[in-house]
Structure 1
Amino acid sequence: MPYTLGLDLGTSSLKALIVGEDGKPVASASESLSVERPAFGWSEQNPESWIVACEAVLSRLKSEHPDALAKVAGIGLSGHMHGATLVGEDGRPLRPCILWNDTRSAKEAAELDDAEARAITGNIVFPGFTAPKLDWVRRHEPEIFDKVSVVLLPKDYLRLWLTGERVSEMSDAAGTAWLDTGGRDWSDRMLERTHLTRSQMPRLVEGTEVSGTLRGELAERFGLGRGVVVAGGAGDNAASACGVGVSEPGSGFLSLGTSGVLFTPAAGYDPAPDTAIHTFCHALPGLWHQMGVTLSAAGSIDWLSKLLKEAPGDLTGRLPQEISAPGREMFLPYLSGERTPHNDAEIRGVLTGLQSDTDRDALTRAVMEGVAFSMRDCLEAGAANARPTRLVAVGAGSRSPYWLSLLATVLDTQVVLPEAGDFGAALGAARLGLCAATGDDPATIMTMPPIARSFEPKAELRAEFGEAYRRYRDLYPALRALAS
């Protein structure tokens, strides 16, 4: 197999991963990114910073691994979803990108979200989606809206720089609220409702298809060969699924990054928008997936870390090897609002049940239990359509055995941890690049990594965690009533 390169554009960093002939990573580099929050609920990023970061990682790879980089035949892209990158006629951004966790367009999302939109897109129109952001720009920044030549998702702006092509792919496009998700094409009706046209949308390809070739200028600058193909790629979660070989119903993965994701492939297109679960196209042709999202997973531990001035790993590392019954303290992890199952951009978190003897360990456990219960919400929302029998754990939070054992018990599902290695979105992107470069069957490439450890549900704690989950569920309506 040829060498391939995966580029994963995350919110906090851009990562490059070179994968060798045996399908294993041989070199990597990353560059940090910053997020601007100019107002409450706003979250923005300068698209030009993505280009600067990509130049930095490619320069580092050229300096440190020139032979490997020179062998690359295909590039795959992964990126954070839903971001609104508004590009003018000159190919330059008109304003900072409005990111996935920006909630300013809650009003516009509510106006777009109706039976027609759900029937076309298969999803609730969430405030984080791209379409309502464009409606917000139209209302509040009309001089910018009038100049929009094309709307690109974050990784697709990176593609524009790499190839000169205005292209997106199905998995990322499904998170815009402009895609006919079942038909895998732009919806003229949804575009019309946000005062846009198909001409302002990028061309669509499947994630495994060729979207363009690397510009000769960049190939020469960074020491790659001529004719390197760039695959359609994937949104970050679909790319992660490719990285851990999750493509069949009954499988799934649990991502414990800043946000939390429960991802399960579906045998066909079977949306359930009323549950606030996402039904998106998979990066693999002819497949779809369901995805429950909680906006603050490992991000909740990061919040507690800052509050207590102790590193996240130190907080979680002090917990015992074995989980015990849930504590009295309870945490709702709605630090940035919540997606599944509430679709509530305004709700915020709460910590209850504090006692005079509540200590750091109790707070840490409460936060981890709260995130586990939020993932149970995601599981229950999609249970009727694609309940997994095993979940592969990825992300920063998967470093905690305590948390994985807790999640297995709360979800009543086996959770497995891959062997040490890089099996994330960058690897998935590289695998998609391999499909584009070779035309090989994705099923032969998207294999599951070796498993280092399995976590089984603790049957003796099932009833107690079930009761705690019931109390957790009761907190949201009480909190919502107070916030009204």
Structure 2
Amino acid sequence: MPYIASFDIGTTNAKGVLVTHEAKSILEKSVPITTIQTEHTAEQNPDQWLDAVLKITKEWLSVGIRAKDIAAITFSGQMQDCIPVTAEGEPVRPAILYSDARAGKQAERIKDELGTALIREKTGNHMDGTLTFPKIIWLQEQEPVTYEQTASFLISAKDYVIGKLTGRLVTDPTSAATTGVMNLEKRTWQTDWLERYGIAADKMPEICPADEVVGQVTEQAAKKTGFAPGTPVLCGIGDAGAATIGAGVSQQGEMYAYIGTTGWIAIPTKEVTYAGEGVFHLTHPEPGMHIAIAPLMNAGNAYKWAMSVFGTNTKMSDKFAFQEMEEQMQASDRRTSNLLFLPYLNGERCPVQNPDATACFIGIKATTKREEMCIAVLEGVAMGMKQVMELISDASDYKRITLIGGGSKSKVWNQIIADMLGLEVLVPEESQYLPSMGAAALGFINLGWDSDYQAFSQRLTAAQTFERYIPDPAMSEHYEHKYRRYIKLYPALEPLFETSLDSE
């Protein structure tokens, strides 16, 4: 039986699935990824991405999957990284992740010199220090030896693994759209900008269509991985593009939300909107289509933080700690709480752009219980989702939203989101693997198993089972009152975020 091997390299885990011709996934595997994080920086060792793929592949082969039955290998991965590698694809330094905003000053200089209007016109996006382009300039200025040793600045974690498998250094248009230096309509590098800032154009990877075969597994890579030499390797797609396809969202009028460590709300669109500075526009693999995406720096990480702080037994395994927290929150009456939580544990990119913003509770009383604080954390993220949804769409145009990612495992959270947004929430079974399934769609198109992405989405949807959460009108009304208070929090607190203890 032929399979498509699909890998999704995220921030906290690398996942792999084998996908059959019927769009059924088997042998789902997940391997943890660690981040080297300080207050202002976030980096990862690229070799752990490759090691995770090796572990997953080894498990498949150990249970009887034959390497020759893998018809193609495809990927999705975290985007907006800066991954300096040599011509041989070896890392020059740790990868600077998408959440790392160290290049803020360089981004401000680019904005001042090029102008916000021109940047928006060419890239469809704003410029900030988390994008790859200003990070490259930061390396040029702060680590000149690193810059000189670099043959290519890769953009997505999956680009690195593809380089190791095939020897080619490439990226896809969706990932390239997160750099701040790709022309959104032409899907090419803005070479005049690179030249202006002294960056050699050949240091940028070639942009290839996501469903294009960019190489085959080399003999050397085959010995290391267990894949058959000559196995086709596709360019793959950035995680937001893969999640869009995996969520079954392929045409206008559909919407989904992703809750991983970070998160986003996204819709397919033919037009670039300028509704909010934090809204990104990525290329959809379907020609002529974009993905309007409002990112959230704080999503599943907020739940994990709440679990570590408010759980009654922090020595429990994550599984049992999660079950305990869910039970406590289920038993709590959400209708009686006016507690608010601003969820900016790691700063925020949308709807505000402030890496120095912090999280806070408003409304704690002597009677406040731990489960009430846990619920407030989940409500705070849901309110952030509502706020960014209003930037990219008119909620009255939608009746439902598909929710995917590890955060959708929480039944309490899913119901909170349904009540908060006033929309039916659909949660596909095993939704944490849907970005991998979305990446597998590239193989379906390339191998001729499906004619287009809409056909794949229909096939995938038909093969899925969904859990539905219907909004409670009384809770939606309660949340509307809380939301009107919530949106006043950041403007009121912003001056405090700008004042450091050292300056007082």
TM-score, normalised via structure 2 length: 0.90
1:121 and 1:344 mapped to 2: Cα distance?
21
Instruction: Verify: 1:479 aligned to 2:493, yes or no.
Output: yes
Would you say how many aligned residue pairs link Structure 1 and Structure 2?
481
Deviation at 1:371, TM superposition (A): 0.3
SS at match of 1:319: helix
1:377 corresponds to: 387
User: Which of 438, 446, 454 does residue 436 from structure 1 map onto?
Assistant: 446
Unaligned runs of 5+ in 2: 313-320, 499-504
Change (3 A) 1:358 1:321: closer
1:252 and 1:215 mapped to 2: Cα distance?
40
1:58 corresponds to: 57
Change (3 A) 1:244 1:280: same
Correspondences of 1:384-395 after superposition (within 5 Å): 388-395=398-405
Q: Comparing 422-431 with 290-299, which one deviates more in the overlay? A: 422-431
User: Which of 241, 244, 269 does residue 271 from structure 2 map onto?
Assistant: 269
SS at match of 1:89: coil
2:325 and 2:44 mapped to 1: Cα distance?
30
2:268 and 2:396 mapped to 1: Cα distance?
7
Unaligned runs of 5+ in 1: none
Q: CA RMSD in A?
A: 2.2
Amino acid at match of 1:389: K
2:456 corresponds to: 445
Deviation at 1:186, TM superposition (A): 1.2
Change (3 A) 1:249 1:275: same
Aligned residues with identical type, % of pairs: 28
Superposed CA offset, 1:383-440 (max 9, x none): 2599643211112221222211221222222211113466421121222123223374
User: Which of 431, 441, 456 does residue 470 from structure 2 map onto?
Assistant: 456
Change (3 A) 1:227 1:269: farther
Deviation at 1:240, TM superposition (A): 1.5
Correspondences of 1:83-482 after superposition (within 5 Å): 83-113=81-111, 114-153=116-155, 154-219=157-222, 222-266=225-269, 268-272=270-274, 274-310=276-312, 311-320=321-330, 324-325=334-335, 327-383=337-393, 388-420=398-430, 423-438=433-448, 440-442=450-452, 443-447=454-458, 448-449=460-461, 450-482=464-496
Change (3 A) 1:26 1:462: closer
Change (3 A) 1:53 1:399: closer
Deviation at 1:446, TM superposition (A): 2.7
Deviation at 1:226, TM superposition (A): 4.6
Deviation at 1:141, TM superposition (A): 1.0
Amino acid at match of 1:84: C
2:81 and 2:285 mapped to 1: Cα distance?
18
2:494 and 2:397 mapped to 1: Cα distance?
29
Deviation at 1:89, TM superposition (A): 3.3
Deviation at 1:313, TM superposition (A): 3.6
Amino acid at match of 2:236: G
TM-score, normalised via structure 1 length: 0.93
Instruction: Verify: 1:70 aligned to 2:68, yes or no.
Output: yes
Amino acid at match of 1:10: G
Change (3 A) 1:98 1:280: same
Change (3 A) 1:44 1:326: farther
1:42 corresponds to: 41
SS at match of 1:245: coil
Superposed CA offset, 1:26-51 (max 9, x none): 223332221112x4211111112222
| C-alpha contact (below 8 Å) 1:207/1:285 kept by paired residues | no
2:318 corresponds to: none
Q: Comparing 395-404 with 369-378, which one deviates more in the overlay? A: 395-404
| C-alpha contact (below 8 Å) 1:74/1:436 kept by paired residues | no
